Amino acid sequence: MCSPTTAPLPCRVRDPDCKGKVESGVGHARRTHLSGMRFESIEAAHVYLDRWEAHWAYTRIHGTTKRQVAVMFAEEKPHLQPLPVEPFRYYQDRPSRTPTTTEGLLRRARGAGQHVGAVCEHIHRHEGETGIRRILGVLSLAKKHGAPTVDLAAKMALDLGATW
């Protein structure tokens, strides 16, 4: 669980400058022969993936480090801790204060217009940090279509009593 002073912030879709190595992993997975495969059961998928990892994924040479994946994993394995017994509870508890980066996004939203700011504040108030992606989406609309247009649309949504 996240501590009260940290908050994971989702990254923008298809933005390699924002996500770094994470985004390249998505492309790597899409380029493998696994793309589009279907399995009869989860067990069948596990059997296939275990074989795939042993015969392809672990034996390949990593693109950045130029080292075999299995060798790197063997070096890291002694330092890994066991997984917790209970699943990770993503953001059940809200931080006691809004993270600085979120405050900056909300300031940008208010700068885009009174109603854009109100919509984004509403999203944050009701969804917390998990609503950041939606706030980024609103700001993206303002950038793409112009702040006055999106502010008018936000006003209309607020007047109609739209709920998020």
| Interval 18-38: pLDDT, tens | 666 556 666 766 777 777 888
Cα separation, 112 vs 150, in Å, equals 8
Burial 55-68, CB ≥16 within 10 A → b, else e: eeeeeeeeeeeeee
Task: Please report the pLDDT score of residue 130 as a whole number.
Answer: 82
Task: Please report the pLDDT score of residue 6 as a whole number.
Answer: 46
Q: What is the mean pLDDT of residues 94-103?
A: 76
Mean pLDDT of the chain: 83
Do residues 113 and 142 lie in contact, with contact meaning Cβ atoms separated by under 8 Å? yes
Burial (CB count <10 Å: 0-12, 13-18, 19+), residue 49: middle
Q: 117 pLDDT band (50/70/90 cuts)?
A: very high
Cα separation, 115 vs 117, in Å, equals 5
Task: Please report the pLDDT score of residue 95 as a whole number.
Answer: 65
Q: What is the mean pLDDT of residues 75-79?
A: 94
pTM: 0.47
State percent of the chain over pLDDT 90: 44
